[in-house]
Amino acid sequence: MPDYAHGTGAHAPDDLASLVGTRLGLVFAARDSSFLGAYHLATFPGGQMRIQPNRIPGDDGEDDLYTEDLPADWVLLLTTTDAEDAALAARLDALDGLVRVDGPT
């Protein structure tokens, strides 16, 4: 499955969920997990998107970074699709304040 990762220091998680949801016609549901902490999830035919802080709860009570190579205060947009989708990638790349940091793999 191709994966795309984007990051931003310009948007809070709730704001990014609203922005991406509006632009792509997706509905993000707020969720909470002991592994990821608070995050937003949207599913669509052939894939899903997750918005989460780069800083996640660690097992030792200290926060860990989901992606060590990115700033701790960034918010991540992680997209998984069944097949490479150049149009989707281009729409995400065009969002103000969002930077592609990986993908597809």
Question: For residue range 81-97, what is the model confidence (pLDDT) as tens digits?
Answer: 999 888 998 999 999 99
Closest CA to 76 of 11, 6, 23: 6
98 backbone φψ class: left, alpha, beta (φ>0; ψ -120 to 50): beta
Question: For residue range 34-83, what is the model confidence (pLDDT) as tens digits?
Answer: 888 899 999 999 999 999 999 998 878 788 999 898 999 999 999 999 99
CATH node for 3-102:
3.30.160.110
DSSP letters, 49-89, are EEEEESEEE-TTSSEEESSTTS-TT-EEEEEEESS--HHHH
Which amino acid makes up residue 70?
Answer: L
Say which residue, 59 or 8, is predicted with more confidence.
8
Query: What is the model's pLDDT at position 26?
Result: 96
Residue 21 has pLDDT above 60, yes or no: yes
Element (H, E) at 103: none
Q: Where are the domains of the chain?
A: 3-102
